[in-house]
Amino acid sequence: MKVTVVGAGHVGATTAQRIIEGSIADVYLVDIVEGLAAGKALDMAQAAPLAGHSSTITGGTDYEPAEGSDVVVITAGIARKPGMSRDDLLATNGKIITGIVEEITRVTPGAIIIMVTNPLDVTTHIAMQVSGLPRERVMGMAGALDTARFRCFIGMELGCSAVDVQAMVLGGHGDSMVPLASSATVGGVPITQLIEPGRLEEIIQRTRDGGAEIVGLLKQASAFYAPSAGVTEMVASIIRNEGRVMPVSVLLKGEYGISNCFLGVPVKLGAGGVEEIIEVALSHEEMAALQASAGHVQETVAAWERLSA
In this prediction, what percent of the chain has a pLDDT beyond 70? 97
pLDDT for residue 304 is more than 70: yes
pLDDT for residue 127 is more than 60: yes
> According to the model, what pLDDT value does residue 307 have?
80
Q: Are residues 88 and 19 in the same domain?
A: yes
Dist. CA 93–CA 229, nearest whole Å: 22
> According to the model, what pLDDT value does residue 220 have?
82
> In the predicted model, what is the mean pLDDT of the chain?
93
Res. 308 pLDDT band, cuts 50 70 90: confident
- What Å distances lie between residue 204 and 153, 169, 207, 212, 286, CA to CA? 9, 10, 5, 14, 13
pLDDT tens-digit series, residues 153-193? 999 999 999 999 999 999 998 888 999 998 999 999 999 99
Q: What is the mean pLDDT of residues 296-302?
A: 90
> According to the model, what pLDDT value does residue 114 have?
98
Q: Are residues 116 and 177 in the same domain?
A: no
pLDDT for residue 81 is more than 90: no
Q: Are residues 147 and 73 in the same domain?
A: no
Would you give the distance in Å from CA 294 to the centre of its chain?
A: 17
Residue 252 phi/psi, 5° resolution?
Answer: -90, 140
Q: Are residues 149 and 101 in the same domain?
A: no
Q: Are residues 108 and 207 in the same domain?
A: no
In contact, 7 and 77? CB cutoff 8 Å: yes
Dist. CA 73–CA 282, nearest whole Å: 31
- CATH code for position 303: 3.90.110.10
Q: Are residues 147 and 110 in the same domain?
A: no
Q: What is the mean pLDDT of residues 273-280?
A: 96
Q: What's this model's pTM, rounded to 2 decimal places?
A: 0.94
How many structural domains are present in the chain?
A: 2
User: Which residues carry out catalysis?
Assistant: 173
Dist. CA 308–CA 99, nearest whole Å: 13
pLDDT tens-digit series, residues 221-271? 889 999 999 999 999 999 999 999 999 999 999 999 999 999 999 999 999
pLDDT tens-digit series, residues 14-58? 999 999 999 999 999 999 999 999 999 999 999 999 999 999 999
pLDDT for residue 309 is more than 80: no
Q: Are residues 77 and 179 in the same domain?
A: no
Q: Are residues 174 and 293 in the same domain?
A: yes
Q: Are residues 92 and 164 in the same domain?
A: no
Residue 272 phi/psi, 5° resolution?
Answer: -90, 5
pLDDT for residue 80 is more than 70: no
Domain residue limits at 296: 143-308
Question: Which of 95, 116, 140 lies at the terminal end of a domain, its last residue?
Answer: 140
Q: What is the DSSP string of 242-275?
A: --EEEEEEEEEESGGG-EEEEEEEEEEEETTEEE
